Amino acid sequence: MSETPPNTLQYRFDGPEDAPVLILGPSLGTTWHMWDRQVPELTQQWRVLRFDLPGHGGAPAHPASSVGELTDRLLATLDQLRVQRFGYAGCAFGGAIGADLALRHPERLASLVLIAASPRFGTADEFRQRGVIVRTNGLDPIARTAPERWFTPGFAANQPAITEWAVQMVRTTDPGCYISACEALAAFDIRAELGSIGVPTLVLVGSEDQVTGPAEARTLVAGIPDARLAVVPGASHLAPVEQPAAVTDLLIRHFSTAWQTAVDTSTGQMAIVAAPVKPVLAPPPPVAPVAEIAPMAEQPVAGGRPDPYEAGLKVRREVLGDAHVDRALAAADDFSGEFQELITRYAWGEIWNRPGLDRRSRSCVTLTALVAGGHLDELAFHTRAALRNGLTPAEIKEVLLQAAVYCGVPAANSAFKVAQAVIREETTPQE
């Protein structure tokens, strides 16, 4: 296979060239081989396209910063292949791409299946923490724990070959691309947009999935107007691998009933059209109130510029983490509340949001300044922020050694103790 351009994805086709196209999207840490046991039956009716995420399965390591960017790369790949309309089934991360397709490019999508998916995958802190662990320890800790996240205990014990395959699949992924994918999932949140998904959707989940389980699936079904729920007994997160026959049967039934073929009178060829929408099985959404109090309009600050508070709050959360910011804001009262607003608006909305330095560089400057001032409490959470911003423990050590020369050995000695404790806590994989 030739080198994949940076704006496209590595893919493979199976099935008849004249059949309608069905796309299968992978989970984070997997390759297109997670769908191997679906392909023989699906290719009896469809031309199946599978793709790999960047840095997965030997795909070129061109990291993507968001789910939307991966959606755009998939569409660029399909445009090159002259595939205009298709069905799509995606597992976990692949499901996020499918939901993004349905929201931004519904004209391309005939039907959708979301497997082990969620409108928001865990919390941003969880995925950024995973990125810190991978940056420090490599992918081995994530790989070793993949089977317990992906499979039920009985399946993992009884299928050692598949269990080892799962471990090796994660272990051979490009770490930088894995970290970028974690960042993309940290920023993914479509809870407020589910009602705009208009394609026929099947939400499929393993009954034993502890990662994105039935509760997340029901949230999707409740929010998507034309969605149905299928729970696969005895399956965990990678249901297509653990219960291939059940998943294949559900895919065939959904895509067969959601599509129907028709003859394009201009060309005489078979074309795919969406079937009429069937009645929704889920209860209707609650009726919105006729009127409600509108949120206050954003107020400009002096000089006519927009208020940087919201931008500052976003950056503050991304750098320090939701949990830290939530605690700081919750502790604010009449005495300290205005101070919290000040640092959010000006430290984070103005300074940290300036384009002149990247966040890694700003973390280096901040750590040095905190060592010089002896602000050890702030040094602790800014060490965590530095790890989240991409500094490795070795790079933080270099910053502190530099500070020892210019800020003094006693200050650096205290700083090393604080930073060492934080780094141990943040980079130790959770067993």
37-54 pLDDT tens trace: 999 999 999 999 999 999
Residue 399, in any domain of the structure: yes
Domain coverage including residue 399: 309-427
Same domain, 327 and 414: yes
Beta-strand (E) ranges in 234-369? 259-263, 270-274
For residue 261, pLDDT over 60 is answered with no
Q: Is the pTM of this model over 0.85?
A: no
Residue 2 lies in a domain: no
Q: Can you tell me the mean pLDDT for 164-187?
A: 96
Rg (CA), the chain: 24
In the structure, what pLDDT confidence band is assigned to residue 290 with cuts at 50, 70 and 90? Answer: very low
Q: Would 295 be classed as within a structural domain?
A: no
Of 274, 300, 323, the residue at which a domain comes to its end is 274
Q: Is there a single domain that holds both residue 86 and residue 153?
A: yes
Same domain, 267 and 321: no
Shared domain for 95 and 49, answered yes or no, is: yes
Residues 184 and 119 in one domain: yes
The pLDDT assigned to 152 comes to 97
39 and 159 belong to one structural domain? yes
Residue 154's contacts (CB-CB under 8 Å, 6 or more residues apart) are none
Whether residue 211 contacts residue 146, with contact meaning beta carbons closer than 8 Å, is answered with no
The DSSP secondary structure of 82-112, one letter per residue, reads T--SEEEEEETHHHHHHHHHHHH-GGGEEEE
191 within domain boundaries: yes
Can you tell me the distance from the alpha carbon of 204 to that of 213, in angstroms, rounded to the nearest whole number?
Answer: 10
Mean pLDDT for the stretch of residues 124-145: 93
Q: Give the start-end residues of each E strand in 6-55.
A: 11-14, 21-25, 47-51
Query: Domain with 410 in it: what CATH number?
Result: 1.20.1290.10
Inform me whether the pLDDT recorded for 258 exceeds 70: no
Sort residue 55 into left (φ over 0), alpha (ψ -120 to 50) or beta: left
Per residue in 274-289, pLDDT (tens digit) is 333 332 333 333 433 3
Q: Which of 398, 387, 382 is nearest to 348 (CA)?
A: 382
**Does residue 294 have a pLDDT over 90?**
no
100 domain residue, yes or no: yes
Whether 215 and 363 map to the same domain: the answer is no
d(CA 29, CA 374): 42
Whether residue 208 is found in the same domain as residue 69: yes
Q: Which residue carries 């300074």 as its tokens?
A: 351
Classify 116 in phi/psi space as left (phi over 0), alpha (psi -120 to 50) or beta: left
Does the residue 401 lie in any domain? yes
Decide if 396 is inside a domain: yes
Specify the CATH number for the domain of residue 30.
3.40.50.1820
Are residues 269 and 332 part of one domain? no
Instruction: Quick: pLDDT tens for 82-124.
Output: 999 999 999 999 999 999 999 999 999 999 999 999 999 988 8
pLDDT-derived band at 390 (thresholds 50, 70, 90) equals: confident
Per-residue pLDDT band at 60 (split at 50, 70, 90): very high
Of the three residues 230, 249, 274, the one that is the final residue of a domain is 274
- In a domain? residue 299: no
Q: For residue 132, what is the enclosing H or E element?
A: helix 124-137
Residue type, 331: A
Number of domains in the chain: 2
Shared domain for 379 and 258, answered yes or no, is: no
Last residue of a domain, one of 230, 250, 274: 274
| Same domain as 333, residue 186 | no
pLDDT at residue 3, rounded to an integer: 64
Domain shared by 386 and 255, yes or no: no
Q: Region 291-320: what's the mean pLDDT?
A: 69
